Structure formats: structure tokens, C-alpha cells
Amino acid sequence: MNFISIVYGLFLLSVLGIYWTFPQQKLRWWTLLIASLVFYGSLQIQFVPLLLALTFINFRLGLEIGKNTSPGEHNLDGRISNEEWQFAQVEWDQRRLKLLWLGVILNILLLLGFKYLHHVLNFAVNLPSDSTNTTFKLIAPLGISFFTFECISYLIDVYRGAPASEQFLKFATYKLFFAKLISGPITRYHHIANQFNTLQSLTTDRVAEGLWLIARGAVKKGILADHLGVFVDLCFGNLPRAGSVDLWLATFAYGLQLYLDFNGYVDMARGSAMLFGLVLPENFDFPYFSTSIADFWRRWHITLGDWLRNYVYFPLGGSRRGLTNTCGNLFIVMLIAGIWHGSAWGFIVWGLFHGLALSVHRITDAISDRFEPIDNFWQNPLGIVVAWFLTQTMVFTSWIWFRLPNFKDSSLVFQRFWGHTADVQFGQKVYAEALNMSQYQLASMLVALAALMAVTYFFNGRLKIQFNWPIKLVFVPLCLYAVWLLAPEGSLPYIYFDF
């Protein structure tokens, strides 16, 4: 069941009708849970029992970790002394820590098993990891990366003192909620649980906002991202024939495709959730207008960045132990981000490259703090433009490892970025026959799309100007009709479904 389909529209309307018919909270949870299982089952029914089992295991671990840590009412009747109570408390805390590690290790092994086990088995029979004739091929459940990270964050939050869920139905509804299950955004349990407890009736402006998010996300994915994807697939799928200009255009197009594809999905997920009275967290804040790599990671995949900061970077010590340790922590964090995204070596290199960029940014900041002229340069308009250009050049070129995680292919792109002429047939097949436009026209369209994003950033991101709800309702059917009319045949799969 694809988000951009008539089937999903009918599914969403049916579930909404049943959901808001029930006044009881538990019946609404049951509605969402059953609907989520049906939604996931339409994509990978074989993994539904596994997700249910893992949800129950993490629920039980959360209960055990969150149990009352005070062994006995010693202060009421004096049955045990303060000293005995303190020993018992230490013992209980050690037990809670062991349970936490058990849960974290279980979830990590699950994630690494699905992502890396087939590489280990293929290596055992002497097949290269990037071989197309692999003996073992393990299909991972959709959304397993998001699923495991949410489980880990829940267990750690409970260990840190947040209340554990006492209702499996409520916890399972949160974990398996179809709007966020496959590609996020990564959402903490207590963020959703609080909304479950204070659920309010829908208002006109909330309905309009939810429908607008769905329609806007459909345009981003169905029209913009998928059309960009056609060119990206043609270019990166014919690397030996592509020229330097073609590769630069494909690199820029893929960066836009990745953003519009993922951001479009999140818009539709947030819009769907809003119609059920739930607010999922923002996941993007105009990342391609950031002027430093640190700022980029505060704007790109925000929930993943928050997860890495709260559950990896800060526990490692953050930036409290000097510049050297800070840079080391950044490398570790981004290495984990690379491993989380995929099992090919390209994702590892991508993570380390971003770790290097974050470390260079930290060092540059430290130098700028000591030399006022350098600090002033980064504050003036020229310095801001230079910072933006360097940041986005680094970001867009690093996406090559995302699109081509095979070293042979990604290395060929970097080697041919300069001074390489395209095959004559490449231009004829790609531009004239497949795209029906020239290379210059394609470049102009990419610049126009970037300009449109800049205008949106200025009015929405800077001036905070948005349409009111009547205008949004007018645009909803227009956007959906445009997607039905203009989207390429056979829509491309969501990119982040692979992660």
C-alpha cells in the first residue's frame, strides 16, 4: 500500500471513520493497531509476527526496568535499616542496568543481523560483499531501523526515570502506528502517550492542515522527486557513458530528490497522524540553507539527529572533555549513523566523511573564537555565502555514497567530475528520447526548483508566513489532481524504505 495511491486514500478515510466513531479511548487504540497491522501486512505480511513479538519484548523489558526501586516501606515501620535499604537499592539499580543492556543489545543485534548477516555469510563462502551473485540474501523488514531506534530510546528513557507503559495495547499502538512505522519520524513513546491521554476533537484548521500536509507531500514525492529520480537513475545507471556535466547535474538532482522524497513522505505521515488528533515531530527545517555542517544536522532528519545526540553523543561526554574527545565523539556518532543507514561500505564512508566535516567545523569554531578577524569574516555576508557554499558542496557530494554505495561506482563518479566528455549516444538516449529536453533545459529546471525552495524558505522559514486554512483546502484537490496527472508512470519507491 503506497502513500500516493487511491488505495491508501480509501484506507485512510475508512480508518478515520471508524476511529472517530468510537468515543472510548481503548477502541480507538484497537482501531489504530489493527489498521497498522493491515497496512504493514499489505507490504510485508511475513514480518508482522516478528514486529508484534519485538513490541511485546520491549514492553515487558520497560515494565521491569521501570518498577518501583524502593524495596520495602522501611521508613514506615522500620523493618529494614537505611543501610540495608541502600544496599538493596544498589542491587536493584544494577539489575535495572542489566535489563537495559539486555534490551539495547537485543535491538542492536536485530538491526545488525538483518543489515549485515548476509554479508558475513557471503564472506564465509568467499564472495565479495558487493557481488551480484550472492549466495545469501536476507530481506530486512521495512522500517526495522526506525523500529529498533524507537525501542532503544524508550528503554533508556524509562531507565532514566520516565514512567513505563503499563498497557500493552497503548504501547503497541504507538510502536506500530502506520503513519510513522516504516520511515519515521523517530518518535518517543511519551510524546505520543501524552497525546493519547489528552486527545481532543478535530477542528477545521487541524483537518485543513492535515490534508494540506498530505497534498503537499504528494506533490514533493509524486511530481518533483520521482521526475528527478528518472534522470538520476538514467545517469547513475550508465556511468561509463556519462560526462562530467551530466554527473554534476545528477549529483545535484539526487540531493534534491532525496530531500523531496523523504520530506514528502514525512509530510504525508504527519498529515495522516494529524487527522487522528496526533502530532508527529518535524523532521526537516530547510537543511539546504544551513551555513555549517552542524547546522545542517540540526535541520536534516531532525529526529535522527536528536536521537544520536541524546543517546550516543551526550553519554559519550559530548563536548565537555576537550576538543580532541569532542572530535572523537563526533566520529563515533556519525559512524553509527552510517551503519544505521545501510550495510554497504559506502554508508560507512559517508558517516566518517560527515564525522570529519563536523570535526573540522569544531576546530574552525575554536580557531575563530581566538582570532577576531576570522570570526568577523564568518559573520559578514561574504563569509556567510562562502560557508553556505562549502557546506552544501560537501553535503551534495557526500550523497554520492548514498546513491552508489558500491566503491567501484562511487569512485568512478569522483574520477570523472572534471574533464570527461559524455558518450554521444548518452545524450541522445537520456535527454532527447527519455527526458525530451536538452541538458541546458534540465539545468535550468534544477536552478528554478532551487529558487522556488529559496522563496519558500524566505516566506515560510524566515517570515513565518503561511496560507490560512481556507486557502489550504482550496489547494488540496488541485495538488492531488496535479499528482494524478503529472506523476511519472510507475512511481519510484520511497528512498528511505531501504534504510
Instruction: Write out the catalytic residue numbers.
Output: 341
The CA distance from 329 to 351, in Å, is 13
Cell of 239: 556511468
67 DSSP 8-state letter: S
Largest CA distance in the chain: 91
Residue type, position 487, single letter: A
Cell of 477: 484537490
Residue reference for cell 563536548: 319
The CA distance from 350 to 258, in Å, is 15
- Entry field: residues in the chain: 499
Q: Are 387 and 397 in contact (CB under 8 A)?
A: no
Cell of 377: 569574516
Q: Closest by alpha carbon to 309, among 287, 292, 288, 294?
A: 294
Phi-psi region of 349 (alpha: psi -120 to 50; beta: other; left: phi over 0): alpha
The CA distance from 78 to 72, in Å, is 9
User: Around 383, how many Cα atoms within 13 Å sit in the side-chain half-sphere?
Assistant: 9
Q: Are 390 and 396 in contact (CB under 8 A)?
A: no
